[in-house]
Structure 1
Amino acid sequence: MVQFRGGSRSLFSPKEEFNVTATSQNARLDVRLSEDSKRLIEQAAGLLGVSVSSFTVSAVVREAEEVVERFGMLRLSDRDRDIFLAALDNPPEPNEKLRAAAKRHAREIQQ
């Protein structure tokens, strides 16, 4: 069973239009869930006046986008943030390996 975060986050704005068939939809996702979960999803979809499929796809895609975004961010402690910003403000001199890599890159780009 998939559990979503709690809270009062709204999945749809009152004026949001459901256009699930706007793009080619030929992929399937089959899930097993409890009768209670199914009834809750059906109730929520009914309250919004949308199909269970539209509600489910929208909710799952929105949650997936949030998860991907959350894991795509680099989170730093205050200490690490300060170290990172200090390195940007005052970068160290490039070492020999970095200089050699820059030369190789410049040669490759010119070819």
Structure 2
Amino acid sequence: MATTNKNDARLQLRLPADLKREIEEAAAHLGQSVSEFAVSTLVQVARDVNEQQKVTKLSNRDRDIFLAMLEADREPNKALIEAAEFYKKQMAEQ
């Protein structure tokens, strides 16, 4: 199924004249209109920010603690058993 991108949403903003001139100059250097430049730049930054939010960064110390916890052979505690039972019950009701 083919998809078409409709440009039906609008984003408006106000900014100082000197910033507008700087953006216009940068767009011209790339051979883009201000709209093309703004959209491509904003979309790339938005994607980068969204991707960064999906990543959890640990210090070496915290990484080692986390890995040690994963490797530890422990019996589930009461809270974990109750959570698993609750989950199973919720899934059975769906």
For the aligned pair, the TM-score class normalised by the smaller chain equals 0.7 to 0.9
Return the structure number with greater relative CO, CA threshold 8 A, min gap 6: 1
CA distance in 1, matches of 2:86, 2:16: 59
Aligned-pair identity (%): 46
Residues 104 and 33 of structure 1: is their aligned pair in 2 closer, same or farther, counting only changes over 3 Å?
closer
CA distance in 1, matches of 2:86, 2:21: 62
Q: Does 1:101 align with 2:76?
A: no
Residues 94 and 29 of structure 1: is their aligned pair in 2 closer, same or farther, counting only changes over 3 Å?
same
Q: Tell me, which stretches of 5 or more residues in structure 2 are unaligned?
A: none
- TM-score, normalised relative to structure 1: 0.69
Q: Tell me, which stretches of 5 or more residues in structure 1 are unaligned?
A: 1-21
What residue number does 1:49 align with?
A: 31
- The alignment of Structure 1 onto Structure 2 pairs a total of residues equal to 90
Secondary structure at 1:33 match in 2: coil
CA distance in 2, matches of 1:37, 1:92: 59
Q: Does 1:71 align with 2:53?
A: yes
Report the AA paired with residue 64 of structure 1.
Answer: A
Q: Does 1:92 align with 2:90?
A: no
What residue number does 1:11 align with?
A: none
What residue number does 1:7 align with?
A: none
- TM-score, normalised relative to structure 2: 0.79
Secondary structure at 1:29 match in 2: coil
